[in-house]
Amino acid sequence: MSVDPYRFSYTSYEALDRAGVGWQAALHVLTASRPRIVRHIGAVMHVVGAVPDGRLLAVALIEETDDEYMVVGARWLDEDEAQPLRKLMERGGR
């Protein structure tokens, strides 16, 4: 049985709503978007990936327990931010 390591709380939904991001878009980046960029520093994880319409979304998470994360926010990247990240993803993150 597979357990999803990502959790959304009421606060998660509120933060996403304030940012104009649907929870479905955040979940897509976390589970289905490829390629994507994952940066894990201490208890914080950032994941950047594309949603089906091509826009890049950055999702922020906090590690609650080993390999289990709570979504704490997300934001759409503007084109100036997205362009170099797209190039990085095309090169396989290098």
Which percentage of the chain shows pLDDT scores above 90? 88
* pLDDT bracket for residue 3 (50, 70, 90): low
Query: CB within 8 A of 28, min separation 6: which ones?
Result: 49, 51, 52
pLDDT tens per residue across span 34-52: 999 999 999 999 999 999 9
pLDDT tens per residue across span 78-93: 999 999 999 999 887 5
CA distance 68 to 84: 29
Query: Two tokens at 24?
Result: 């479905």
